[in-house]
């Protein structure tokens, strides 16, 4: 570490005291820098919450107007696949939290391994989601692109399915972005960029990944579990 610090000070070409290479000049300490990063990340997450919040509002309005269509639309979704994906995604949140903990405790190899496991679980989620989408396409239940209204089904089931694709599609997009972020963080971790003194990027990537998990925690009951008691009679 002293070598790194000396090399860094030399590269600067200006004579202030040696400091940790990750410390940016407008911050006093790494602690202060981490606090600023955390606040910035949370502000980003709050606007993400509001972004999904708009879609949830549309969901609420149409659910109140067309409860029967919501019941019929939700019955089409597979609780087993949705449930397995919930377990997979919450599992990936656990491995993400353990990756951050490994970085906090200077365990470089464990950090990389937990991050890779998180990515694999994320990939599993996306593959299962892909099978669900494929099934919907085969049934021609994709509003706007390939839709056939089942006899006896309310036309408003299309609104439910549109919101299903909008919400799960945007969620899946966030997962793809998260996968890319984790790939970069895992590469940085493998290169030894993080230590117990400086692991903020791992923690920030974790905040993003957990946020995506939370969105799914709400999507699962709102999409898959509507009015199930009355469908089985």
Partner 1 sequence: MSHISPKSMYFTIFGCLMALTALTVYVAFLHLGWLNFPVAITIALIKASLVVLFFMHVKYSSQLTKLLVGSTFFFLASLFGLTMTDYLSRAWYVSPRGSMSAGMLPKLIAAEVPAASEMALANPEALFGATCGSCHSNQTNTAPRLSEIHELYANNPAAIIEWAKSPKRKRMRFEPMPSFAHLGEARLKALAGYMLQQAAAAPAQPPAAN
What residues line the site for partner 1 (CB under 8 A)? Answer: 30-31, 34-35, 38-39, 42-43, 45-46, 49-50, 53-54, 56-57, 60-61, 64-69, 79, 83, 86-87, 90-91, 93-94, 96-98, 101, 104-105, 154-155, 196-197, 203, 206-207, 210-211, 213-214, 217-218, 220-222, 225, 227-230, 232
By beta-carbon proximity to partner 1, the closer residue of 89 and 142 is 89
* Contact (CB, 8 A) for 202 and 111: yes
Q: How far is CA 154 from CA 20, 147, 212, 230, in A?
A: 63, 13, 32, 17
Q: Of 30 and 181, which CB lies nearer to partner 1 in the complex structure?
A: 30
DSSP-H helix ranges across 23-66: 30-65
> CB-based contacts of 10: which residues, under 8 Å, 6+ apart?
none
- Shortest distance, position 138 Cβ to partner 1, whole Å: 26
Kindly tell me which of 57 and 146 has the beta carbon lying closer to partner 1: 57
Question: Shortest approach of partner 1 to residue 71 CB, angstroms?
Answer: 10
Distance CA 180, CA 184 (A): 6
Two structure tokens written together for 184:
């970069």
Least separation in angstroms between CB 132 and partner 1: 17
Q: How far apart are CA 136 and CA 134, in angstroms?
A: 5
Residue with Cβ nearer partner 1 (11 or 80): 80
Closest CB 97 distance from partner 1, rounded Å: 5
CA-based end-to-end distance of the chain: 67
Question: Nearest-CA neighbor of 126 among 118, 160, 159?
Answer: 118
185 Cβ contact list (under 8 Å, min separation 6): 115, 201, 202, 205
38-42 long-range contacts (CB < 8 A, ≥24 apart) are: 38/200, 38/203, 38/204, 38/207, 41/204, 41/207, 41/208, 42/207
The residues, any chain, with a CB within 8 Å of residue 225's CB and separated by 6 or more, are: 74, 79
The least CB distance from residue 204 to partner 1, in Å, is 11
Could you tell me the smallest distance in angstroms from the CB atom of residue 3 to partner 1? 22
Which lies closer to partner 1 via its Cβ, residue 68 or residue 146? Answer: 68
Q: Is the Cβ of residue 15 or residue 233 nearer to partner 1 in the bound state?
A: 233
Shortest CB 224 distance to partner 1, Å:
8
- CB nearer partner 1, residue 12 or residue 71: 71
């Amino acid at each position: 570490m002293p070598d790194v610090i000396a090399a860094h000070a030399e590269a600067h070409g200006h004579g202030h005291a040696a400091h940790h290479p990750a410390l940016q000049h407008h911050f006093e300490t790494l602690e202060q820098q981490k606090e600023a990063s955390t606040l910035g990340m949370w502000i980003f997450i709050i606007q993400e919450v509001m972004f999904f919040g708009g879609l949830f509002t549309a969901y609420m309005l149409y659910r109140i107007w067309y409860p029967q269509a919501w019941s019929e639309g939700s019955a089409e979704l597979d609780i087993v696949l949705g449930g397995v994906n919930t377990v997979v995604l919450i599992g990936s949140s656990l491995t993400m939290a353990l990756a951050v903990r490994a970085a906090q405790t200077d365990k470089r190899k464990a950090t990389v391994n937990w991050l890779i496991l998180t990515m694999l679980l994320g990939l599993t989620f996306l593959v299962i989601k892909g099978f669900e989408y494929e099934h919907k396409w085969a049934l021609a239940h994709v509003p706007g692109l390939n839709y056939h209204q089942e006899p006896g089904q309310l036309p408003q089931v299309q609104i439910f399915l549109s919101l299903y694709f909008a919400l799960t599609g945007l969620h899946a997009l966030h997962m793809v972005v998260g996968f890319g972020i984790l790939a970069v963080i895992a590469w940085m971790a493998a290169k030894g960029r993080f230590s117990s003194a400086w692991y903020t990027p791992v923690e920030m990537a974790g905040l993003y990944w957990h946020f995506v998990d939370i969105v799914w925690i709400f999507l699962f009951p709102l999409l898959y579990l509507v009015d199930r008691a009355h469908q089985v009679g």
